[in-house]
Amino acid sequence: MEKQHELNFLDLCAACGRAIGRACVACWHLFGYMVRLSVRYWWLVVTIVALAIAAALYYTRFENLNFKVNGIVLLNGPTIQQFERSYTPMCTGVTLAPYELIAPFVWHKTIRDFRTYRVIDAKGDGTADWIDFDYKSNPLDTSNVQMQDRLCLQFRMKCRKLDSLPEVETAILSYLNASPVLLQAYDTYMQNMREEAAFNHRQAEKLDSLTSCYYFNPASEATPRSSGVSFYGDREIKLFLQDIYKQHEHMRQVDHRLQLATAPITLENHFSIDPTPTNSRKKFLPLFILFGWLFACGLAEIIDKRKAICAWLKQ
């Protein structure tokens, strides 16, 4: 029987270290070889790198710059899944009708690369704190909660077409708010919100009536005007103060949301443009130079080994 050798953790670390060292040495030798090729065939490398620089300058010219456009979408009734299913046809433009306002912008590539990101409420106060652009938020995370009534909608526009952003915003909202699925969810949502707002106002009136009765009337005459509230407390303490504060705060939030919900899909604010272009020269000029140099080294290697390659092909 062959004797089995166990590999402990230190041996494994040493083997990994040796492999990484050999890889680094090989990369260094390859880099040195490419430098020698560049010196030997400098005319070819300089030409291709110059062409790469020209291509980078043309690609990153001012008229061709692309900018990200972001907007926080308020979902007044529809769920995130319903919104994403409704806006997906708009992204491709295949099923868009010619009379749709958004159709020319999508067909002419005025707007493209649609994406949605979850909005995170980190403090649990119903306010958007940050946007998960990296898709790293866990839906089960209780400290960074994914908001169900907000979503970040992002797309890209070229610099020369940024003047049409207000028209694009109107066209996007017009297309989404015409969806039958979103309209049905909106109608149910508005009915529930109106009932909740009416209930909050009635409760505020009851609390105000109870406060007036218990503070300003004698004990024998302290009969509240509103019925349906079963509350009996000590007249010597401050009655209902915290209840009134909580009720009015909740009533204010519901009324504010009811005022904002003018359509199934609204924007928390207008679409905003990211000032940093996606194809800036700071990012793409070094990349073009690097790929041009690598391509030039590959051509130089082919020219340097052309005799051996021709001999191999003739075999």
Pair (220, 287) in one structural domain? no
**Tell me, what's the pLDDT at 234?**
41
Q: Are 244 and 212 in contact (CB under 8 A)?
A: no
Pair (243, 284) in one structural domain? no
Answer whether residue 309 is part of any domain: no
pLDDT for residue 231 is more than 60: no
**Tell me, what's the pLDDT at 70?**
92
pLDDT for residue 95 is more than 60: yes
Pair (142, 198) in one structural domain? no
Nearest to 93 by CA among 109, 81, 78, 82: 109
Q: If pLDDT is split at 50, 70 and 90, which confidence band does 52 have?
A: very high
Q: If pLDDT is split at 50, 70 and 90, which confidence band does 147 have?
A: confident
Nearest to 146 by CA among 136, 138, 154: 138
pLDDT for residue 215 is more than 70: no
What pTM did the predictor assign?
0.73
Answer whether residue 4 is part of any domain: no
Query: What's the mean pLDDT in 13-25?
Result: 89
Pair (143, 44) in one structural domain? no
Pair (167, 94) in one structural domain? yes
Answer whether residue 315 is part of any domain: no
Answer whether residue 1 is part of any domain: no
Query: What's the mean pLDDT in 293-301?
Result: 89
- Mean pLDDT is lowest, of 57-66, 112-121, 234-243, 250-259, for 234-243
Average confidence score pLDDT of the chain: 82
**Tell me, what's the pLDDT at 6?**
65
Pair (75, 150) in one structural domain? yes
Share of the chain above pLDDT 90, in %: 17
Pair (96, 145) in one structural domain? yes
Query: What's the mean pLDDT in 244-250?
Result: 77
Identify the domain containing residue 197 by its residue range.
Answer: 189-260
Query: What's the mean pLDDT in 156-166?
Result: 87
Pair (27, 42) in one structural domain? yes
Pair (235, 143) in one structural domain? no
Pair (211, 107) in one structural domain? no
pLDDT for residue 227 is more than 50: no
pLDDT for residue 111 is more than 70: yes
Q: If pLDDT is split at 50, 70 and 90, which confidence band does 55 have?
A: very high
CA angle, residues 153, 101, 179, in degrees to nearest 5 = 65
Query: What's the mean pLDDT in 63-92?
Result: 88
Other beta carbons within 10 angstroms of residue 39's beta carbon come to: 10
Q: If pLDDT is split at 50, 70 and 90, which confidence band does 230 have?
A: very low
- In the chain, the number of structural domains is 3
Buried b / exposed e over 50-83, threshold 16 CB at 10 Å, is eebeeebeeebeeeebbbbbbbbbbbbbbebebb
**Tell me, what's the pLDDT at 211?**
63
Pair (251, 204) in one structural domain? yes
